[in-house]
Amino acid sequence: MPKKKRSRFHLTTTLDVLDELGIKMYTNSAAVLSEIIANAWDADARVVDVAVMGKGAARTLSIEDDGVGMSEVDINARFLTVGYQRRDVKGGGVTPSGRKVMGRKGIGKLSSFSIADVIEVHTVKGRSRLAFRLDIAKLRARAKAKATYEPDEIPCARDLKKGTRIVLSRLKPKVHMADRYLRRRLSRRFSVINTDDGFEIRVNAKPLTLEDREYYDKFQYVWHYGDDDLSTVATKATHREARSGNVATIRIAGRSVRCRVQGWIATVETRSQLASADDDNLNRVSLVVRGKVAHENLLEETTEAGLFATYIIGEIRADFLDLDNATDIAASNRQGILENDARFEALIAFFKKELTYIGSAWTDLRNREGTEKALAIPAVFAWYNLLSKDEQRVATSMLGKLNSLDVKADSERRTLFSQGILAFEMFRFKRNLSALEKIDAADIPKLSQVFTDMSSLEAAMYHEIVRQRLEMIRRLETLVDTDELERFLQQHVAEQLWLLDPSWARATEQPIMEKSIKRALNAPTGALMKKIAASRLDIKYREASGRHIVIELKKASRVVSTTEILEQVTKYEEGVRESLRAAARSNEPYEIIVLVGPGFSDWTDDVSREQSRRILAAKHTRVMRYAEVIANALASYQQYLQRESSATAIAAVIDSVNEADLTGYGAGIVVPGKTPRRQRIADQARTGKGGKSGMRKVVKQPTRRKSA
Ligand SMILES: Nc1ncnc2c1ncn2[C@@H]1O[C@H](COP(=O)(O)OP(=O)(O)OP(=O)(O)O)[C@@H](O)[C@H]1O
Ligand SMILES: [Mg+2]
Query: Rounded to the nearest whole angstrom, what is the distance from the C-alpha of residue 86 to the centroid of ligand 2?
Result: 10
Query: Which residue among 13, 26, 78, 120 has the greatest number of ligand 1 atoms within 8 angstroms of its CB, and so is best to mutate?
Result: 78
Mean pLDDT of 435-455: 68
**Residue 505 confidence (pLDDT) above 70:** no
pLDDT at 27: 65
Distance CA 599, CA 329 (A): 83
Q: Which pLDDT value is given to residue 376?
A: 82
CB 168 within 8 A of CB 16: no
Q: Is 109 in the pocket of ligand 1 (CB under 6 A)?
A: yes
For ligand 1, pick from 35, 47, 79 the residue to mutate: most ligand atoms within 8 Å of CB.
79
Query: What single DSSP character describes residue 12?
Result: B
Verify whether ligand 1 is closer than 6 Å to residue 104 (CB atom).
yes
Using CA atoms, how far residue 368 sits from 338, 569, 683, 699, in Å, is: 41, 62, 17, 14
Average pLDDT, the chain: 81
Global pTM reads: 0.62
Helices (runs of H) and strands (runs of E) counted in the chain:
18, 20
DSSP string of 386-424, one letter each residue:
TS-HHHHHHHHHHHHHHHHS---SHHHHHHHHHHHHHHH
Å from CA of 206 to ligand 1 middle: 25
Angle, helices 342-375 vs 676-687, to 10°: value is 50
Nearest Cα to Cα of residue 270 among 220, 341, 197: 220
In which band, very low, low, confident or very high, does the pLDDT at 397 lie, cut at 50, 70 and 90? confident
Q: Which ligand has the minimum distance to the alpha carbon of residue 166?
A: 1
Residue 622 has pLDDT above 90, yes or no: yes
> How much distance in Å is there from the Cα of 52 to the middle of ligand 1?
22
Structure confidence at residue 435 as a pLDDT band (50, 70, 90):
low
Instruction: Note the pLDDT tens digit of each residue in 663-700.
Output: 543 333 333 333 334 334 334 433 444 333 333 333 33
Rounded Cα distance between 158 and 253, Å, is 48
Where residue 26 falls among pLDDT bands split at 50, 70, 90? low
CA 42 to ligand 1 center in whole angstroms: 7
pLDDT exceeds 50 at position 470: yes
Burial category of 366 from C-beta neighbours within 10 Å (exposed 0-12, middle 13-18, buried 19 and up): buried
Mean pLDDT of 238-249: 93
Looking at the CA of 163, which ligand is closest? 1
Taking CA atoms only, the protein residue closest to ligand 1 atom 10 is: 79
Q: Is the CB of 271 under 6 A from ligand 1?
A: no
Mean pLDDT lowest for which of 7-16, 321-330, 581-590?
321-330
Handedness of CA 657, 663, 667, 672 (dihedral sign): positive
Instruction: Judge whether residue 528 has pLDDT over 60.
Output: yes
7 compared with 131, residue with greater pLDDT:
131
Q: With a 6 A CB cut-off, is 40 part of the ligand 1 pocket? A: yes
Quick one: pLDDT at residue 384? 87
Find out whether the beta carbon of 22 lies less than 6 Å from any atom of ligand 1.
no
Cβ of residue 84 lying under 6 Å from some atom of ligand 1: yes
| SS3 call for 240 | strand
For ligand 1, whether the C-beta of 245 sits within 6 Å is no
Q: What is the pLDDT of residues 101-136, one digit of tens each?
A: 998 888 888 889 889 999 999 999 999 999 999 999
Query: In ligand 1, which atom is closest to the CA atom of 74?
Result: 31
Note whether 396 and 375 are within 8 A (CB). Answer: no
Q: Which of 31-40, 333-342, 362-371 has the largest mean confidence?
A: 31-40
Which residues are close to ligand 2, an ion, with C-beta < 5 A? 39, 103, 108
Question: Cα of 100 to ligand 1 centre, how many Å?
Answer: 14
What is the rounded CA–CA span in Å between residue 28 and residue 184? Answer: 13
- Nearest residue (CA) to ligand 1, atom 31: 78
Ligand 1 centroid to residue 505 C-alpha, Å: 79
Q: Report which bound ligand comes closest to the CA of 70.
A: 1
Q: Residue 339: exposed, middle, or buried by beta-carbon count in 10 A (0-12, 13-18, 19+)?
A: exposed
Look up residue 38 and give its amino acid.
A
Between 284 and 421, whose confidence is greater? 284
Query: Separation of 108 CA from ligand 1 center, angstroms?
Result: 7
Measure the CA–CA gap between 549 and 545, rounded to whole angstroms. Answer: 10
pLDDT at residue number 662:
63
Mean pLDDT of 465-470: 81
Kindly write down the DSSP assignment for every residue of 452-509, as one continuous string: HHHHHHHHHHHHHHHHHHHHHHHHHHT---HHHHHHHHHHHTTT-GGGT-TT----B-
Does 182 have pLDDT greater than 70?
yes
Degrees, nearest 5: CA angle 692-697-700: 120
The finding on whether 367 has its CB within 6 A of some atom of ligand 1 is no
